[in-house]
Structure 1
Amino acid sequence: MASTLPMAAIFTRNKMIGWTAVVFALQSWLAESPEQKRTASAPAYFSVGMAFMSVVVSYMPLLLPPTPMQATMGGSGTEAPAAVPPR
């Protein structure tokens, strides 16, 4: 769960899931035994880095706000189609 939680936070951009991923990753890194350290395929601090990256991605709209839409585009594309004129 601790390895997939940062990815879920990145895809949903949910801040609460991101911070939970950071806490779980830190706990698993601090509780890592020498046996786990020896047999692991990647160091535990990689999961901590991934969890922090999920928090950064969730706060990305605050750091880099999205660009405003241009007036020539004609809207967001989610509006209802134009009415058909009567014959």
Structure 2
Amino acid sequence: MMASKKTMRRPDLVVPYTETAKEKEDTAASTMASTLPMAAIFTRNKFIGWTAIVFSVQSWLAETPESKKTASTPGYFSVGMAVMSLFVAYMPLFMPPQPGKVGGGTGTEAPSAVPPA
């Protein structure tokens, strides 16, 4: 059995390992911040609107200078959309619908059948 083996490693060429800092991209929060306001507008759901506010403010506060450079929209834009979705959800409270107009059709629905005489 060989007790000593000759190593070919040179100590002057050894490069110590350093872990690189990973860029933390929280795409889930930014996706939620941009899609929740649209869901709140379409459904007029107040709970989804408040959730959109929370997610958009969190994603705005978590922005880094690197993410600001690469983002397609600024963080305050998602906050504005969330506030607008909350306004749409609470709009019937401030501007109630007209009493005689139920449903508020757009005029694109099929014509109703004429009853026989």
Q: Residues of 1 paired with 2:37 and 2:73: CA distance? A: 16
1:63 is aligned to 2:70: no
Task: Please give the alpha-carbon distance, in whole angstroms, between the structure 1 residues aligned to 2:55 and 2:38.
Answer: 13
Q: Considering fraction of residues, name the structure with more helix.
A: 1
In the alignment, structure 2 segments of 5+ residues that lack a partner are 1-31, 102-115
Of structures 1 and 2, the larger Rg is shown by: 2
TM-score of the two chains, using structure 2 as the length reference: 0.59
Q: Residue 39 of structure 1 corresponds to which residue in structure 2?
A: 70
| 1:9-59 CA distance string (max 9 Å, x none) | 000000000000000000000000111101111111000000000000000
> What one-letter code is carried by the residue in structure 2 that aligns with 1:43?
P
Question: For structure 1, which runs of at least 5 residues remain unmatched after alignment?
Answer: 71-83
Alpha-carbon distance in structure 2 between the residues aligned to 1:29 and 1:56: 20
The percentage of counterpart residues that share the same residue type is 73
Which amino acid is 1:29 matched to?
Answer: W
- With a CA cutoff of 8 Å and minimum separation of 6, indicate the structure with the bigger relative contact order: 1
Query: Would you say how many aligned residue pairs link Structure 1 and Structure 2?
Result: 74
**Root mean square deviation, CA, Å:** 1.7
- Find runs of 4+ consecutive structure 1 residues off by over 3 angstroms: none
TM-score, length-scaled by structure 1: 0.78
Per-residue deviation at 1:2? 1.8
